[in-house]
Each structure stands twice: as structure tokens, then as C-alpha cells.
Amino acid sequence: MHRILVLTSILPIEKLSHKKDENDILLITEQKIKEYHKDITFEYVYVQTYANDFLGLFSKRWKEFASICKLDKITLKDKIVTIFPIIQIPKKISFRNILYRFSIFQNKERLDKLIKEFNPTIIHAQNADESAYLAKYIKEKYDIPYIITVRGLNRGIDNIIHNNLINAKSLIAISPTQIKQLNKVEKNVNLIPHAVEDKFFIKNIKNNDSSKIKLVIIARLIKLKNIDIIINVLVNFKNFELHIIGDGPEKESLSKLVTTLDIVHQVFFLGRKSHDEILNLLPNYDLFVMPSFPETLGRVYFEVMASSIPIVAAKHTGIDGIITNGKEGFLIDHKSTQQLANCFSKIETNPGLLLDMSRNARELAKKYRWNETVKKYYNIYTA
């Protein structure tokens, strides 16, 4: 039996307001791997920022952190997740390994018990910093190899991260951008982007009876999604309309912006939708627009491309290097209203362009079906 211990801070934790809508890609990946392979099982350690009741006095977020740190385990869907608090500070400092080591010492008994009971065959750290540091410690003490999915490199690679990387058995990048960030780290890297489920390869027919070009964004409404950029450009294109699927803290300000620009007849807020509801809506749309930055690699890009919808995304993000500008969609500077306007102008003046991009997007998405992704993960876990 192959037993994978996953160390991560990427889980949809209901008790944390800013995490309850977190990407559930790790849980989905586990589910898909187990559909193909019955000889593998997973356990999770949630690497949590340490906080206490005193820090909880300063903000709601710190108060929630403090409440989580008091728990040994939490239930997440059908999973029992071990909580592992690690002292972290917002700015990356060179001696933070001392804080990490102290955190491990404080939770040594919890860690010893987990390793003894689960007896993992390999550790999978889901970032190159604190999770990988904990994985490296486990390797040193228990002689269990570890692999790293190389998130968290956007602020550079210092000695701590470098040591984490070079001692890993294997490295995984989910985008070409992450491979570039590794720079001078001499280690082979496996590129495994997010996969797309077969159900998103829906019939290639647009149910669009309108003469308007229909844009869609599916996202949590937060600042880094840059939805305000889209709205500000849309005011100059009367033949376009935008459907916003999702909810979040920016909804009120975005609604006010739409009203101020007097384009309430062009922008529609549809709220949160289930995957099945989104599947039913996708045939209505011509272009997916999400120039969010930073963006590691949202699987929604692959889902809409599978549905024959080309995309607009930001340069220097995870999808950059997977799609080709002008082929499966457009890559733009995330702050540039002019570049986004140029994309809309090209589509408006060349209707055949969208059709070509739709075909290209679908063909690209076919390369990222789950059967191939599962094969890659399984080979790494069992090597």
C-alpha cells in the first residue's frame, strides 16, 4: 500500500473565513487517483499559521487562526485533517528556520503519533517553504522521502527554500512559470498542470441567440481577479455583455462601478453556481475573461477551454506558457485596459477569430484530461 502524507495550507477550511472557498484541487486529485488505483491512500496535515488569544484581539483573521491552533484535528468532508501550527511572519526573514524548528519542537508529540499511526511511504509538501521544511525534517528524522509541488517561489529562493528543494526526491510544477522561477536549482522538474474532467467537453454548439458577444468570468470576487478592469473596458463596447459567476467581498464595489458607468444592461451578476449549473450555462458564452494576477493556475481555464471557450488571461501567470497568445486566447498585462480593449476590438472586427480560437482551446484542453494526470502522479508516488 502506498501511503501519501500531504502537507499543505491549500484546503477549503470552513472555520477560516478566507479559506472556506479555497481551491479543493488536492481533494479532487486524491479522488481521481483512487478511482484508477486502489493501492494508494492519503492523509493531510494542514500547515496553519500559529496564533494565540492575544494575537486574536487584533483582527477577525487572527482570532480564527487562534481558534484553529487549539485543535489537534478537524473534519473536512470525509477526511480527518491534522492541524500543525507553524510560526510565520508576513515578511520572509533569513532566520525563520529557527521559528519553524521551534514550531516543530512544540508539536513533536503530535507529529510522532501521526507518523507512527499512518506510516507514510512518501511526503508531499504543497509549497516550497514551510510545508517543505516540515517535510525535510520528517525525512531527516524518520527517513521518509518527500516531494514538493513548488508553490510559493514568487518572492524568490533563499537558502532555506533552496535546501528544501535540493533534498527533495522529486519536484512538481503546475505551470511553466513555476519552472522558470526555479531558475538555478539543479533538479529535474515534473510539469503536471491541473486536469479537466471529461464532463466539461460538452457539445461544441453555442446556444447564443443574441447578436451580442457574451463574455463570462467564473471567480471569487476579490481584487486580484481584476474584474474592474474588464468593466471599465466594456463601457466602450456596446456589442458585448459580461456575465459574472461567483461571489465575494468585491461584489458591492463592482456593482457600484457598473451603475456609475451606466452599463447595467451589459453586466449581469449571477452569483455562485454549482459545477452542474455552470456546465449548463457554458454553451451560452463566447469568451472567458479572467486577467487575475498573481494566479498560480486556475483549473477553470481548462474547464472553459474544454467547453470550446477561448480565454483572456494575464501574462506571467500559470497559464502563460500553456496557451499561446492569439491561438487559444489572449495574454495581456493585467493592469492594461488598452491591451484588453485591443482584444475586444480584434474579436469585434474579425468574427471568425473566435471560432478558430474555440477549436484551438478545445484541442489544447484534451491534453490535460485526468487519465494522463493520474498516471504522472502515480508514477512519482510509487517510484
Instruction: List, by residue range, all CATH 3.40.50.2000 domains of the chain.
Output: 2-191, 198-367
Residue range 315-332: mean pLDDT, rounded: 91
Binned at pLDDT 50, 70 and 90, residue 210 comes out as low
β-bridge partners, 5: 43, 123
> Mapping DSSP to helix (H, G, I), strand (E, B) and coil, where does residue 163 land?
helix
What pLDDT is stored for residue 204 in this prediction?
Answer: 57
What is the DSSP secondary-structure string of 68-115?
Answer: HHT-SEEEETTEEEEEEEE---SS--TTHHHHHHHHHHHTHHHHHHHH
Of 3.90.650.10, 3.40.50.970, 3.30.700.30, 3.40.50.2000, which CATH number belongs to 198-367? 3.40.50.2000
What pLDDT is stored for residue 16 in this prediction?
Answer: 87
Q: How far apart are CA 311 and CA 293, in angstroms?
A: 15
Give this prediction's pTM.
0.84
What pLDDT is stored for residue 108 in this prediction?
Answer: 93
Binned at pLDDT 50, 70 and 90, residue 95 comes out as confident
What is the amino acid identity at position 229?
I
What is the amino acid identity at position 298?
G
Q: Give the homologous superfamily in CATH for domain 2-191.
A: Glycogen Phosphorylase B; (3.40.50.2000)
